[in-house]
């Protein structure tokens, strides 16, 4: 299979740059939650949100294929002098099945390697 640079897209053909990802697991239920943070959104900067219909899914593409996830929430972060400039977005989704989690982690390993990102453990209080 050919090597393909991993991408994250809200709109097909318009790759977004992931700034941070947080992986969470509920201790009681075991449910896994992914929170992706984007400092900028190409979709907004290039007015794609007005020229293409958002299908409600996030596309994660790599050499294994396409993962389509439906966010449980997309939160826009505002700032600037008047507080009305979009400073980024957070996209949250859950992965219930173990094989979906494994596939997502393989994608994230490839995305991190291609974009100079690294893994850091959360510090816990003593």
Extents of the domains making up the chain: 7-115
**pTM here?**
0.81
> Is residue 26 pLDDT above 80, yes or no?
yes
Residue environment code for 52-85, b if the CB has 16+ CB neighbours within 10 A, otherwise e:
eeeeebbbbbbeeeebebebeebeeeeeeeeeee
Lookup result for tokens 């966010």: 71
Average of pLDDT values for 77-81?
A: 84
Beta-carbon count within 10 A of 106 CB: 15
pLDDT at position 2 is: 60
pLDDT at position 13 is: 85
pLDDT at position 82 is: 85
Reported confidence tier of residue 4, pLDDT bands at 50, 70, 90: confident
Average pLDDT, the chain: 85
Both structure tokens of 1: 């299979």
> Is residue 81 pLDDT above 90, yes or no?
no
Architecture of domain 7-115: Beta Barrel (2.40)
């Amino acid at each position: 299979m050919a090597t393909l640079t991993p991408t994250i897209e809200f709109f097909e053909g318009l790759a977004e740059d992931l700034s941070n990802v947080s992986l969470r697991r509920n201790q009681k239920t075991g449910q896994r939650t992914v929170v992706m943070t984007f400092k900028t959104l190409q979709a907004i900067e290039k007015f794609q949100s007005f020229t293409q219909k958002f299908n409600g899914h996030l596309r994660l593409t790599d050499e294994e294929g396409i993962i389509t996830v439906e966010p449980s929430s997309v939160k826009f972060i505002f700032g600037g002098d008047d507080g009305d400039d979009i400073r980024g977005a957070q996209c949250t989704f859950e992965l219930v099945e173990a094989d979906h989690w494994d596939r997502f982690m393989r994608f994230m390993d490839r995305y991190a390697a291609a974009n100079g990102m690294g893994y850091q453990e959360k510090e816990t209080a003593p």
